[in-house]
A and B are shown apart, each in its own frame.
Chain A
Amino acid sequence: MRTLTVDTRRILYAIAAAIGLFVVGEMAHPGFLSGPSVASILVIASFVGLVAAGQCFVILIGGIDLSVPWVMNAAAILLTTTSLGKNTGAPEAIAAALGMGVAVGVANGIGIALFGIPAVVMTLAANGIVEGLTLGLSGGFTCSSCSSYAPPLIQTLAHGSLLGIPDALWLWAFVTALVSGALAVTRFGRATYALGTNPLAATLAGIDARRMTILLYALCGGFAALGGIMLVGFGGQASLGLGDPYLFTSIAAVVIGGVNILGGRGNYLGVAAGAVSLTVLVSVLLALSMPDYVRSIAYGVVILALLLAYGRENER
């Protein structure tokens, strides 16, 4: 029960940090807390949140996925080039992009679980492989179909709203419910925590560690691809390096969301709050028209401050 309260407290800290940063933003820049401003910040945060959902799964078992940036980029370019900006081809294009992400994730999982390659090395290599293939096959994003737009359907998903709430937030809320639910009450969730806490004990308890590892990396790849799809819907066209900022941001969101980087502890609700905190932080600094370097330094300092405040390893 004690672990439960510690974990719950961490989620509450992450949410408090997000709210605190919103308040700071309002003080620094009146109007920051207005409806449209908050909505647009949350939409941006949702992209981080989707990618961080996948990252959360693998970090929960003590892994990490460094292949996120180019899986996102590849998903984005795959979506635009296969749909050519038309709604008719959208379902196939979405399936292709998500399928690619899952396939990369499965490959990561196989390399890690079956071949025993350290997660850092495997996913770093996978990132390079996907990068090389994406750049090579698209001629460095110069192919004739590379300038296609995302299908209107996807653009609407990223920009539209339903009942006054942006579609992207509905999607994120759905994902949040699904991921938190799956982790909290299903066999899958219990197996994930068990594997992250003690792989040997989990295996002895009848959990197929290899299958779970592959499944979790597959989910991570799928979520990265989903993030790429939403991002290209938001931006319209796929651009080179679109996924780059999401590598460190997704890991940071997971960590300040109270998930133990060594695995076994944490919850997606905290991660979602972490994604909001990081996005609000960047928005506050932008609203204050701080130069780039201040943003970069503040980002690091705030992550460290949050970690020192509540992210300590309290195992003895």
Chain B
Amino acid sequence: MQPDAAALPRGSRLGHAIGQNIGLILAGAILALAVAGFLLVYSIEQHRLPGNFELTSTVNNAIPLVFAAVGQSFVVLTRGIDLSVGGVVDLANALAAVTMGKSLGGALLWSAVILAVGAACGLVNGLLVAFGRLQPIVVTLATLSIYQGLAIRVLPAPGGAIPPAYTNLLVNPNAPWALVYIGLLVLAWAGFRRSRTGVDLYAIGNDEASARALGVNVLRTKIIAYMLDGALAAAAGLFLAASATAGDATTGNSYTLTSIVAVVLGGVSLFGGRGSAAGAIAGAFITTLIVNILFFSHVNPLYQSFYEGVFLIVAVVLGGAIGGAIRRRR
């Protein structure tokens, strides 16, 4: 059993820091490999290095998954899992397309409402998990179906409109401005991690019974985790709508599974208590870059999911082996 990093004194040895953050370090290594792989494939194919356009499109493609994955990581850290992420992305996407209209001001106002709707979806999940004493996987399986249904009710057929100014603000096509949002997300996470709730979150993921015995408010912390998850999934839906400049009540479905993949690749343990938002962000970029690499390698798109599946297994097995070896050597 690894002790919770937060429970240890600050400034402990470097080796200890490596051991504690091995998941994040491995995720960084995989991300570096993915970037290198992309640069290699791209320059062979295009006879030049990728520039501003490629960077911008990669960031803009990755950002919905970044938000969905960070949301997922909150719940996974409590040793839960959220299968309803895709449904919340769908619902936010559909609401955005229907409500935003033409003006930027209205769009921003509605964005706040939609984030609140996402948090409310998370609240329902959290209440059912915490007070209903039901397993997260079955609760969110059921609410996935409900949120997907609501999304289709809101927007029965793809369509609606997103103001161009809103698209430029969220996913500017000319420069990777969207990185600012990722920076804000990291800052917010860093603050949260040091807050009482953040520490409690890790405590619950490591050992729920001990956390409860030490006075952690398990119910409250879990509900907050699910609400943050829901709000971030809704943010993913907003970015998705901004990219597509229209809505579709089904495009979000894939985010349930890709957010789990990103979290796993980012070194967040599905058994709770270990990992970070930075890891989840790295995982989201790895997932996006793999798709780019396959595209520029001229892999038959029909085989795409085959290579993604193989990559996921290899990454998890190698990551587990390297992480295990380092932990044993300490």
Question: Which residues of A line the B interface, CB within 8 A?
Answer: 64, 66, 111, 115-118, 120-122, 124-133, 135-136, 139-140, 248, 251-252, 255, 261-262, 292-301, 303-304, 307-308, 311-313
Contacts and interface: CB of A to CB of B under 8 A. Distances in A.
B310 interface: yes
Nearest to A308: B132
Interface of B: 81, 128, 132-135, 137-139, 141-146, 148-150, 152-153, 156, 257, 260-261, 264, 270-271, 300, 302-310, 312-313, 316-317, 320
Contacts of B316: 117-118, 121, 125
Contact of A312 (B133, B149, B312, B317): B133
Max chain A CB contacts within 10 Å: which of B148, B304, B313?
B313
Given A117-B316, A308-B132, A300 B144 contact: yes
Contact of B152 (A293, A300, A308, A313): A293
Nearest to B249: A293
Contacts of B317: 111, 115, 117
A117 B314 CA distance: 10
B144 A125 contact: no
Max chain A CB contacts within 10 Å: which of B81, B306, B312?
B306
Nearest to B135: A261
B150 A248 contact: no
B141 A120 contact: no
A129 B150 CA distance: 32
Contacts of B306: 128-129, 131-133, 136
Contacts of A252: 138, 141-142
A297 B309 contact: no
4 smallest A-B Cβ distances: which pairs?
Answer: A132-B306, A128-B309, A296-B149, A300-B145
B144 A248 contact: yes
Nearest to A292: B152
Contact of B302 (A135, A248, A292, A313): A135
B305 A135 contact: yes
A304 B131 CA distance: 13
Contacts of A311: 134, 138
A261 B137 contact: yes
A132 B150 contact: no
A200 B164 CA distance: 59
9 contacts: A116-B320, A117-B320, A118-B271, A120-B81, A126-B309, A252-B142, A261-B137, A296-B148, A307-B138
Contact of A117 (B152, B307, B313): B313
Nearest to A135: B302
Given A140-B302, A255-B141, 9 more contacts: A118-B316, A125-B312, A135-B303, A252-B142, A293-B152, A300-B142, A304-B143, A307-B132, A311-B134
B145 A120 contact: no
A261 B264 CA distance: 21
Nearest to A307: B134
A293 to B, nearest CB: 4
Given A128-B312, A304-B128, A136 B300 contact: yes
A253 to B, nearest CB: 11
A297 B145 contact: yes
Contacts of B300: 136
Contacts of A298: 149
A130 B212 CA distance: 43
Contact of A125 (B141, B143, B145, B310): B310
Contacts of B260: 120-121, 124
A131 B134 contact: no
Contacts of B144: 248, 300
A135 B303 CA distance: 7
A262 B136 CA distance: 11
Given A295-B149, A300-B143, A312-B134, A132 B320 contact: no
Contacts of B149: 292-300
Max chain B CB contacts within 10 Å: which of A64, A139, A303?
A303
